[in-house]
Structure 1
């Protein structure tokens, strides 16, 4: 049973990392569930304080993911159209990686700009608002990615630390 929990937990870690880029997946909570599954194995000692702290961080980052883009958009005079454009740009970057890794940055910005151009007639204001939408989006995404990668590192460290208990054939 420990092996099943370990494999599912490890898969959830990668789904969580993917969720830091895909708006439809709650990346940090999914990664936290992966950590929880690791701690539910008989090999890893219970540490409910650690799990509580990491849950609080996951939920805080999850909430901030909704707050930061709105704050960035409002700070720079953006609109909902800019945020929608950013999300559409991200989806284009993920499903049509024309520009490679740089596309993950270029497409959301172009999407935000297009969204703001639809909403505003003034090109200068639209560019500023698009930058705010994009900056908020990138900040939230980076924060989610950072936390999910840290959770993956903790997962691997703990699994390695107790590998002889998880995998008795390593003894």
Structure 2
């Protein structure tokens, strides 16, 4: 039975990493779900207040990293709030419209469309901002992947 429990916990962690490229999946909830399943199946004893404090700080860091990476990527290339919103919407819609590559094309097109429609940017400048959104997204995925890995490694060290 122990193998089944560990399989379920690992599946939640894997889904969390899949959520890095499919933002509609709330990655952090699956990581936390893995911790909670461990507590239910085995014991909550290893999880003292320090464990939850550190994991809570990592959760805040995950949300901050996501926002900041997208913001920096778009702002660095001359984008505005409209570009950020367009990129975010494209990030959520893209993978469903164009599976696999939609996660890159979505934010790119979302930022371009938003900058063209809202701020009346020139095409060349809007495309540049679109590239910034993709760079921001990729930076965000890498950063969040590292943070999630650290959360899981810390969990493994505690148990």
Taking structure 2 as the reference length, what is the TM-score of the superposition? Answer: 0.68
Structure 2 partner of 1:144: 144
Confirm or deny: 8 A CA contact 2:58 2:151 kept in the other structure: no
Confirm or deny: 8 A CA contact 2:69 2:139 kept in the other structure: yes
- Aligned mates of 2:85, 2:64 — CA distance in 1: 18
Listed one character per residue, the Cα deviations across residues 20-61 of structure 1 (whole Å, up to 9, x for unaligned) are: 334455422541342243145436861534554333223212
Structure 1 partner of 2:66: 65
- Change in Cα spacing, 1:126 to 1:64, as seen in structure 2 (3 Å) is same
- The number of residue pairs the alignment matches comes to 157
* Structure 2 gap ranges (5+): none
Structure 2 partner of 1:53: 54
Structure 2 partner of 1:108: 107
Query: Aligned Cα RMSD in Å?
Result: 3.6
Alpha-carbon distance, 1:69 to partner = 1.4
Alpha-carbon distance, 1:158 to partner = 8.9
Structure 1 partner of 2:88: 87
Confirm or deny: 8 A CA contact 2:84 2:133 kept in the other structure: yes
- Aligned mates of 2:88, 2:131 — CA distance in 1: 14
* Aligned residue runs from structure 1 range 148-159, under 5 A: 148=148
* Structure 1 gap ranges (5+): 160-171
Structure 2 partner of 1:118: 117
Alpha-carbon distance, 1:77 to partner = 1.6
Aligned to 2:101, the other structure's residue is in SS state helix
- Aligned mates of 2:13, 2:98 — CA distance in 1: 23
